Amino acid sequence: MLIDKELANDMAKTEERLEALSKKTREAIIDIAATETGCHIGGSLSVTDLLIALFEKYMDNSRNQVVLSKGHAAAALYSVLYVSGILEKNPAESYGRSDSLLTGHPNHKIQGIPYSTGSLGHGIPYAAGWALSQKLKGSAGIGVAVCGDGELQEGLCWETFQVVQAKQINNFLCVVDCNGGQNDGFVHQISPLEDVRERFESFGFQTVEINGHDFREINEALLAFEAASKPFAIIANTVKGKGVPDIEGNPKAHYAKIPNRLKNKWKRSMV
C-alpha cells in the first residue's frame, strides 16, 4: 500500500508540473496570436496538453519521433519547444517573419521537429514510416503522429492506417485531437466523421478514447500503448480554444490575430 501511495504522489506531482507547463505554453500561444501575423490559435490551444505529455514522455530519446501532422498548429509546437527549453526565445518574437525559421507550419530546420508538415494527412505516414524503419532495424524507437479530426477527411490517413495494420507496425501511435472544428466550421456540419473509434478498430487498431485535457487520462493511455501488441490510436476529445473562455468551442477561432489589449485579458482569464 505504501508503494501505491508513493506512486500516486509521484503521478500527482507529474500532473501538477505538466499543468504548469501547459499554462505557460498557452500564454506563449496567446503571445503569438497578438503578433502582426496572428496564428491558428483554436487548434493550437486544443492540442497543447497532448503535445506537452508526448514531449515529456518521448522526446528524450533520439529513436522516437513525435510528428505534428496538423501542421497549422505550429504555434503550439513552437510554444512547447520554448517551455521545454529547446527554443531559447519566446517564439512570438520572430514567428511568421520573413527572416525567421518559425514559419506558419512546422519547420524541420528547428531542433525537435523531424519533418516539415502542413499538407494535411502527410505527417501520419511520416511517423508510420519512421516507426516501420525502427522496427526493421530491431530498434525500440516509436513514431507518434498527432493529427486532427478534420484532418481525417484526407484519404492518405486511411491509406496509411491500412499499411500500418498490414505490416503490424505496433510501435506506431496515432493521437487524434478531436476538437470538432476545422477551417470552415464544425466537422459534423462539413464532412461528419461518425464513430471515429470504431473506424480505427476496423483498421486493426487498439483504440482508447479520453479527455485530451486530463493529464492522468493522457498518461494512462500512453501506458496502454506501450503495453499493446497492435497499432494504437488515442481519440482525445478536446475543446477548440481550450483555456480562453472567450473563444472556447468557437470554430471562428480557427485563426486569429488579436490586439494587445486582449492578450493580457485572455491570459488572466485562462482556466
For 235-255, the pLDDT digits (tens) are: 999 999 999 999 999 888 898
Quote the pLDDT of residue 118: 86
- In contact, 56 and 22? CB cutoff 8 Å: no
The pLDDT of residue 7 is 57
E-strand ranges in the chain read 65-68, 143-148, 172-178, 181-182, 185-186, 206-211, 232-237
Q: Assess contact for 174 and 165: CB atoms under 8 A.
A: no
pLDDT at 117 over 90: yes
Q: What gap in Å lies between CA 16 and CA 18, rounded to an integer? A: 5
Q: Is the separation of the CB atoms in 8 and 68 below 8 Å?
A: no
The angle formed by the CA atoms of residues 78, 218 and 143, to the nearest 5 degrees, is 60
| Helix/strand/coil percent split, the chain, to 5 | 50, 15, 40
pLDDT tens digit sequence for 137-196? 999 899 999 999 999 999 999 999 999 999 999 999 999 999 887 777 787 878 888 889
Segment 17-28 mean pLDDT: 96
Share the mean pLDDT of the chain. Answer: 92
Res. 8 pLDDT band, cuts 50 70 90: low
What b-and-e string marks burial along 227-253, b requiring 16 or more CB atoms within 10 Å of the CB?
A: ebebbbbbbbbbbbbbbbeebbbebeb
